[in-house]
């Protein structure tokens, strides 16, 4: 298993998908969004108590992580039939990400998983 390529992919996924999604949620929660439909959501969030807002934050983080898990699980289940995920290294050599892992969705979680290693935001769950 080539952990360098897997980790390169995981870092991209954490930085450009997970962290950006969390940042978008934070912008809604703190009222810095500009889109009218998001401003309305922002106003509704700001009307919540601190306790309710903490619950919403946990739910949002859990959903973001579940979406990533489901995406990676789908890539693994459908690999070779319908989907292939290729990662090109610095020499432009393609690597099938699914084949490099013994459980792609599992790369997210654990103390040495992608979330802990590469995300700016800790997971809601505790290991």
State pLDDT tens for residues 52-110.
999 999 999 999 999 999 999 999 999 877 788 999 999 999 999 999 999 999 999 98
Alpha carbons 119 and 92: distance in angstroms, whole number: 26
pLDDT at 2: 62
What number of residues does the chain have?
127
Alpha carbons 127 and 125: distance in angstroms, whole number: 7
Mean pLDDT of 115-121: 96
pLDDT at residue 45 tops 70: yes
What are the distances in angstroms from CA 90 to CA 1, 69, 84, 95, 99?
Answer: 18, 27, 19, 11, 19
Tokens of 9: 């992919």
């Amino acid at each position: 298993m080539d952990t360098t390529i897997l980790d390169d992919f995981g870092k991209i996924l954490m930085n450009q998908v997970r962290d950006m999604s969390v940042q978008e949620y934070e912008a809604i929660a703190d009222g810095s969004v500009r889109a009218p439909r998001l401003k309305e959501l922002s106003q509704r969030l700001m009307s919540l108590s601190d306790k309710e807002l903490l619950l919403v934050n946990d739910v949002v983080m859990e959903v973001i992580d579940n979406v990533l898990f489901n995406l990676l699980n789908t890539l693994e289940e459908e690999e070779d039939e319908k989907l292939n995920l290729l990662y090109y290294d610095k020499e432009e050599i393609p690597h099938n990400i699914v084949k490099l892992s013994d459980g792609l969705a599992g790369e997210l979680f654990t103390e040495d998983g992608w979330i802990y290693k590469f995300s700016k935001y800790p997971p809601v769950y505790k290991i």
